[in-house]
Amino acid sequence: MNAMINGGVAATMTSQEIADLVESRHDSVKRTIERLSNQGVITFPPSVEKPSTGGRPATEFVFSGEKGKRDSIIVVAQLSPEFTARLVDRWQALEAGAPPKALSPAEMLLAQAQLMVDHQRRLEQTEQAVSHVRQQVGQLAESRVWDHCPQNCEPITKIRARMNQRYGLPAWVVDTVMRELPLSLKVHGMVRNNHESAEGSHYEVWAVADVTRVFKQFVAECAQETAWFASHPMVADRFKLRSAQGEAA
């Protein structure tokens, strides 16, 4: 049964909206959607063309219904698992929708009862979807789950900050190196998110030494086109990069 908003219209969310929610580039989100679709993890979503600021139409993927909500949660779990709860909250807000049309007293009582049933069903379906995502992400880490992040590991947020400080790399390039290239690392383990709002979710961590090695390799393969910008054979766009000086081995 599709996720519906008041009035019977299916709630939808676009790949651009997902990118805004997880604070990532839209093209990185789309590449993740395409990769997961090609792997059969999610169903390839329909797309729409929307005008962009550059004048050329931009393609956005559209998720709708319970299946679309589940698939979008999987996408976010792959991109930035720390934003999974934010995505679920956004879906619930979308499904709340516009104010209902005027109803008779009897219809209002019936509608209220139905809303309670629908709300309980959505909670159960959301819990099942999030549980499925956690199971899939946990499998990537070979069942290694820790209560605290080991000192020799780091999550994607720290990797982004460290590689930006070290090389000037933007977050979208860091995400691409970590998740989408042949040299991308396998997740080293999972850490339980102890924040109260996390509802028992986990986040991925990688070994610090492996991350350092992979980015040294990536930077070595880059072509420095200007003092600040470089290109890489497997990255579509130019990106900011400064040469690391005095770097430890």
| Per-residue model confidence (pLDDT) at position 189 | 85
- Residue 210: predicted pLDDT: 94
Each residue's pLDDT tens digit, 7-62: 455 788 899 999 888 888 888 889 889 988 888 888 889 988 877 665 667 789 99
H helix or E strand, kind and range, residue 105: helix 105-140
pLDDT band at 211 (very low <50, low <70, confident <90, very high): very high
CA–CA distance, 128 with 134 (Å, rounded to integer): 10
* pLDDT recorded at residue 81: 78
pLDDT of residue 128: 66
Q: Are 75 and 17 in contact (CB under 8 A)?
A: no
**pTM, entire model:** 0.44
Q: Which amino acid is at 127?
A: E
Q: Give the pLDDT confidence score for residue 136 in this predicted structure.
A: 56
Percent pLDDT > 70 in the chain is 69
219 vs 237, which has greater pLDDT?
219
Give backbone dihedrals phi and psi of 233, rounded to 5 degrees, phi first: -55, -25
Bridge partners of 223, per DSSP, are 231
Q: What is the pLDDT of residue 246?
A: 39
Q: What is the pLDDT of residue 193?
A: 74
Which of 119, 125, 19 has its CA nearest to residue 63? 19
Question: Reduced to 3 states, what is the DSSP secondary structure of residue 244?
Answer: coil
For residue 108, is pLDDT > 80? no
